[in-house]
């Protein structure tokens, strides 16, 4: 099931050797770039900072177009869509996902993330026209994603023709297009194993940095007391933190480098602490789904580890059950957050009970709206029907009657059965491709990245069912990158070690 690629070679171009993977150098470069951007936007007004940052990034990306993918993935992992305005805020001062017409008064509604996508794509095409090769993704997964995007565009047109609001529709349209663009960029520009290692390491550095910020915020800024704030990071950060922990688990199975395993183990501990402090049930559900995928893949494709995996699962069930009994009545702190996802299913707290009631009414209203146009959906840009009474939370969530928490039902409501079919076909093909890679490739790097990709897809489905995630800019950028990786992995050279 390996995806094919179309390669365009410029005359006389010689194949270059793969760049060396140098973790320390990458970590230093990441720290300088990420820290420099945060400092730049903290010191200067957004307009002046963008006039400096975007040209510098454009020159940097020109030297190696895949760097645009690095920046987009790192930005998705680190930078909030909206500022959180904590006293220690750093990353949320970078307006990566905010319209320039709202931040600096630019007339056209475009975001720095979109400008970076355009720059990366333009550089790739320009470099190809001059002296380099460009590989266009092709195959069943690419075709499936094209079909899904076609249905998305149909929903946009249908919504506007039916009276939908264009500005509202952009909140629904943009994330889907972001995912596809990053999918194409990743599948096109990622050329070798070393670039794959760099992308993976940069993602882990970005999430690790965010975990450190969350831990510092919880213990130092908030003195261990969340108060009425309820979380230390944005909602979607819980998804990224769960993926860091998942990557740590996958590294124990497939990576033999002890230094990396130690790094991932320590980072996973910090990420877990921040995940619990962020108080999002959806993040823990995502973690559970992702860990289950890693365990199943390891059990299936690593026969020598089956006995250990079976015993670890048994011990985890026994230990987890014992902890549930011990901490069941805990109301505050980290222990309470560990128990909360399970307890909320049978004995929810006042907060969880109120949230569950709201989401039940919201889901019922989405079902009613879906039934008005079950084949092609109602399109983008219009509020859904409010038949079941819901609290008006527009003061904290302006799109409360446009984008529901159940993102999977959002697909059906907006795009109908046609959208459901296209979406699940895309997911199904990605899973089948991942299983085929696990079955046919022995390369530890390809196996660990494939396992992570499948776990990330499972985690996205989990959070998409429970929270506002399938219409989230940050999630969909990573989703596109993950699917792009699955199209490129079959073309990478096989190796015996990472």
Kindly indicate the confidence band of residue 332, based on its pLDDT and cuts at 50, 70 and 90.
low
Q: What is the 3-state secondary structure (H, E, C) of 136-205?
A: EECCHHHHHHHHHHHHHHHHHHHHHHCCCCHHHHHHHHHHHHHHHHHHHHHHHHCCCHHHHHHHHHHHHH
Domain count, the chain: 1
Asked whether residue 325 carries a pLDDT value surpassing 90, the answer given is no
What range defines the domain where residue 354 resides? 41-358+368-491
Dihedral, CA atoms, 138, 206, 91, 83, nearest 10 degrees? Answer: 60
Q: What is the pLDDT of residue 6?
A: 40
In a domain, 35, yes or no: no
Count the alpha carbons within 13 Å of 213 in the hemisphere toward its beta carbon. 26
CA–CA distances in Å: residue 257 to residues 27, 130, 291: 17, 39, 21
In a domain, 11, yes or no: no
Asked whether residue 335 carries a pLDDT value surpassing 70, the answer given is no
Closest CA to 239 of 476, 2, 489, 493: 476
Give me the mean pLDDT over the 386-408 stretch. 88
Question: Which residues lie across from 136 on neighbouring strands?
Answer: 6
Asked whether residue 262 carries a pLDDT value surpassing 70, the answer given is yes
Asked whether residue 308 carries a pLDDT value surpassing 70, the answer given is yes
In a domain, 16, yes or no: no
Q: What is the pLDDT of residue 131?
A: 59
In a domain, 26, yes or no: no
Q: What is the pLDDT of residue 402?
A: 92
User: CA 277 to CA 143: how far, in whole Å?
Assistant: 41
Q: What is the tens place of the pLDDT at every residue in 41-85? A: 999 998 899 999 999 999 999 889 999 999 999 999 999 998 888
Kindly indicate the confidence band of residue 350, based on its pLDDT and cuts at 50, 70 and 90.
low
In a domain, 19, yes or no: no
Asked whether residue 201 carries a pLDDT value surpassing 70, the answer given is yes
Provide the phi-psi class of 416: left if phi over 0, else alpha when psi is between -120 and 50, else beta: left
Kindly indicate the confidence band of residue 224, based on its pLDDT and cuts at 50, 70 and 90.
confident
Asked whether residue 173 carries a pLDDT value surpassing 90, the answer given is yes
In a domain, 2, yes or no: no
Give me the mean pLDDT over the 278-294 stretch. 89
Q: What is the tens place of the pLDDT at every residue in 411-449? A: 999 999 999 999 999 999 999 999 999 999 999 999 999
User: CA 108 to CA 419: how far, in whole Å?
Assistant: 30
The model's pTM: 0.90
User: CA 46 to CA 307: how far, in whole Å?
Assistant: 56
Q: What is the pLDDT of residue 13?
A: 36
In whole numbers, what is the pLDDT of the chain averaged over residues? 86
In a domain, 452, yes or no: yes
In a domain, 28, yes or no: no
**H helix intervals, 3-45:** 23-43
Asked whether residue 491 carries a pLDDT value surpassing 80, the answer given is yes
């Amino acid at each position: 099931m390996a995806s094919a690629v179309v390669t365009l070679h410029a005359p006389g171009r010689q194949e270059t050797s793969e760049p060396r993977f140098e973790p320390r150098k990458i970590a230093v470069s990441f720290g300088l770039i990420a820290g420099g951007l945060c400092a730049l936007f903290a010191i200067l007004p957004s307009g002046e900072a963008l006039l400096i940052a975007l040209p510098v990034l454009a020159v940097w990306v020109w030297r190696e177009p895949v760097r645009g993918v690095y920046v987009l993935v790192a930005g998705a992992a680190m930078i909030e869509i909206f500022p959180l305005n904590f006293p220690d805020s750093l990353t949320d001062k970078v307006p990566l996902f905010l319209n320039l017409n709202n931040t600096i008064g630019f007339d056209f509604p475009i975001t720095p993330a979109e400008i970076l996508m355009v720059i990366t794509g333009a550089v790739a095409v320009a470099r190809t026209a001059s002296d380099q090769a460009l590989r266009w993704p092709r195959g069943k997964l690419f075709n499936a994603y094209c079909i899904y995007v076609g249905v998305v565009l149909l929903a946009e047109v249908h919504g506007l023709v039916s009276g939908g609001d264009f500005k509202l529709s952009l909140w629904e349209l943009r994330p889907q297009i972001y995912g596809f663009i990053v999918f194409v960029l990743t599948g096109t520009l990622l050329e070798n194993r070393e670039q794959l290692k760099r992308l993976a390491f940069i993602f882990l550095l970005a999430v690790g940095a965010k975990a450190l910020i969350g831990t510092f915020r919880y213990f130092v800024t908030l003195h261990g007391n969340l108060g009425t704030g309820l979380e230390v990071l944005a909602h979607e950060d819980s998804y990224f933190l769960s993926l860091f922990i998942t990557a740590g688990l996958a590294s124990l199975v497939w990576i033999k480098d002890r230094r990396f395993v130690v790094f991932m183990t320590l980072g996973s501990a910090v990420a877990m602490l921040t995940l619990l402090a962020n108080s999002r049930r959806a993040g823990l559900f995502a973690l559970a789904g992702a860990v289950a995928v890693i365990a199943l893949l390891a059990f299936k494709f690593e026969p020598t580890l089956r006995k250990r995996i079976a015993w670890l699962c048994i011990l985890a069930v026994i230990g987890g059950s014992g902890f549930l009994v011990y901490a069941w009545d805990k109301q505050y702190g980290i222990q309470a957050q560990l128990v909360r996802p399970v307890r909320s299913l049978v004995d929810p707290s006042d907060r969880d009970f109120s949230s569950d009631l709201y989401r039940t009414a919201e889901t019922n209203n989405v079902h009613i709206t879906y039934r008005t146009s079950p084949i092609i959906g109602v399109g983008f840009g219009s509020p859904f029907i409010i038949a079941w009474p819901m609290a008006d939370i527009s003061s904290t969530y302006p799109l409360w009657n446009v984008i529901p928490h159940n993102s999977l039902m959002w697909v059906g409501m907006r795009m109908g059965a046609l959208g459901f079919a296209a979406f699940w076909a895309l997911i199904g093909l990605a899973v089948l491709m991942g299983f085929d890679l696990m079955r046919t490739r022995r390369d530890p790097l390809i196996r660990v990245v494939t396992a992570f990709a499948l776990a990330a897809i499972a985690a996205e489905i989990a959070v998409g069912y429970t929270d506002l995630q399938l219409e989230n800019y940050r999630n969909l950028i990573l989703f596109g990158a993950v699917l792009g990786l699955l199209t490129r992995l079959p073309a990478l050279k096989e190796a015996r070690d990472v």
